[in-house]
Structure 1
Amino acid sequence: MKKLILFISLIFCYFSYAQTNGVYEVDYILQLDNEILNKSLKTMKDKSTKFFISKQAETFKEVQSKLVFNAKAAKYAVREQLRSDAKPKFNYFEGHAGGESIYYFDNMKKRTYYTSTLLSKTNVIYKNKWKILNETEEILGFTCYKAELILNQKGKIYAWFTKKIPFPYGPYTFNNLPGLILKAEVKNGLITYLATNIKRKKEGKPIIEKNDYRFLTESEYSKELKKNNLLLQDIK
């Protein structure tokens, strides 16, 4: 218990002094709530989709991902999974954690984007807007505040962030809150992104390295996908 209190105190010290040159790493896991999944499957009408998801859930394993950040930028990606087979196995839920894309937050330019896996050398810009709620939860010893993502569609997404780490980063596409996101829930709690560890790491390569990738907004990206894919041309 004393070691845990000491660890939390040290983390507080790091961020209280806002060490702009410090680099930190957060480990996340993606969890699946089987009780909620089973209720959802019972009401699912499409038999092929129901069969596919239930089979994927049978072999579900916690998906690991990580966020590396400093005061200037953040980078998030799914950790490479150790597999015994020569060919990687398809993991439906790994896609919900970010799949093969890399997610960036340029805190200097206030720009969030991810690398496309469908269009070569393309970054897709997106934005998040939140409503902070009057609820808190303790995660990894930090008091976290609950926020709801404002969406133009059905479904709710919630995130819990800590003001003690005052950087607008988080897992997957969840960011732009006044503190680091340590937990997020989607699909009515079916899937949870949970931080399991925060540590300081040595300086290395720049978090956002220079490249010749172009930037597209989500609407521009959607239009170009339709032009390049006949299967999407009928989708409006």
Structure 2
Amino acid sequence: MKRLGILTMVLFIQTTFAQTNRFVYQVTMKPDASNKADIKTENAYLDISAEKSMFYSENRIKRDSVMQANRQSGGARGFNRDQMESLRSSINYSIEKDKKNQKTIYKDRLGRDAYSYEEDRALEWKILPETTKIGEYKVQKAETDFGGRKWTAWFTTDLPYQDGPYKFSGLPGLVVKAEDADGDYSFDLMKNYKIADFPEMNQFGNVVKVKRADYVKQQEKFKTDPMSFMNNQRSGGISSPMRTGGGGGNQNPADMRKRMEERAKEEIKKNSNPIELK
């Protein structure tokens, strides 16, 4: 009985430490350079385990769940267009930090395919003596220049993590708040809790691994002529990156192409003030 009790305790401890910790951040964005009054706010998850962390949109997981349910029903339910539109996200990327190999992998969709690259720029932090309290955490101030923006972060050592939202890492604690000097982007920790494991994310089309500089070039090509860019892609995974389901029928291909192009250009315009300016 004593040996069984010890085994039970060991399994309990292993299970406890194997759990993933989820930190929920409120992300505030002004993605449209021509309309800074249009402020987008949504939640994003930072899931952390001993081996890695993942940062991604809450709405992405909710959309994946709706699409998965539709697939399991054989498409019988159909997509609820209003529901899918309500789950649209301004955070279309995901970021994985490989703790063992000290790598940060960025993944985002361009046209029909997903592109991923390993971040090749280190964040160089200046840790300042200023401290304060945000919520229940004692935090300390730090600054960095990254991606063409000057960032101020507040990190805490009250939690045993050296991580943060987006690509932020390398501080001796968890980033509780981060904001750029222009006030275009901010990340604010709202709450945290444990989850069993990282969720599975749906992936459509190819995953194209490139260098960061090549990704930037492809991104510029997409912005310049989105339809030409998509026509040159090899993917057969989905018919359009902008499509949210519903409707369809026997539509004129030329009309569909025109609507897709207009929607793509509108999406690009609405994201003319990206989080990284260079």
TM-score (norm 2): 0.55
Equivalent in the alignment of 2:47: 68
Letter in 1 for 2:145: I
Question: Paired residue for 2:168, among 174, 177, 181?
Answer: 174
135, 142, 163: which is aligned to 2:130? 135
Secondary structure in 2 matching 1:53: coil
Query: In structure 1, what is the equivalent of residue 245 of structure 2?
Result: none
Q: 2:144 aligns with which of 121, 141, 149?
A: 149
Q: Which residue of 1 aligns with 2:106?
A: 114
- Where does the alignment leave 5 or more consecutive residues of structure 1 unmatched? 1-18, 38-47
Q: Where do residues 77-88 of structure 1 align in structure 2 (5 Å cutoff)? A: 77-80=56-59, 85=82, 88=85
Structure 1 Cα separation of the partners of residues 137 and 163 of structure 2? 15
The superposition leaves residues 42-72 of structure 1 with CA deviations (integer Å, 9 ceiling, x where unpaired) of: xxxxxx954x333x24xx5x31111111121
Q: Alpha carbon RMSD of aligned pairs, Å? A: 3.6
**For 1:209-228, what aligned pairs fall within 5 Å after superposition?**
213-225=207-219
Distance 1:85 1:167, change over 3 A: same
1:95-110 equivalences under 5 Å are 95=90, 99-110=91-102
CA 105–227 in structure 1, closer or farther in 2 if over 3 Å, else same: same
Q: 1:125: how far off? A: 1.9
Partner of 2:77: none
Q: Which has the larger radius of gyration?
A: 2
Map residues 21-36 of structure 1 onto 2, 5 A cutoff: 21-31=18-28
Q: Provide structure 2 residue ranges, at least 5 long, that are not aligned to the other structure.
A: 1-15, 64-79, 227-277
Instruction: Quote the offset at 1:214 in angstroms.
Output: 5.0
Displacement over 6 Å in runs of 4+: 81-84
- Distance in 2, Cα, partners of 1:112 & 1:139: 27
- 1:66-100 deviation digits (Å, cap 9, x = unpaired): 11111211111111179971552697xx53xxx11
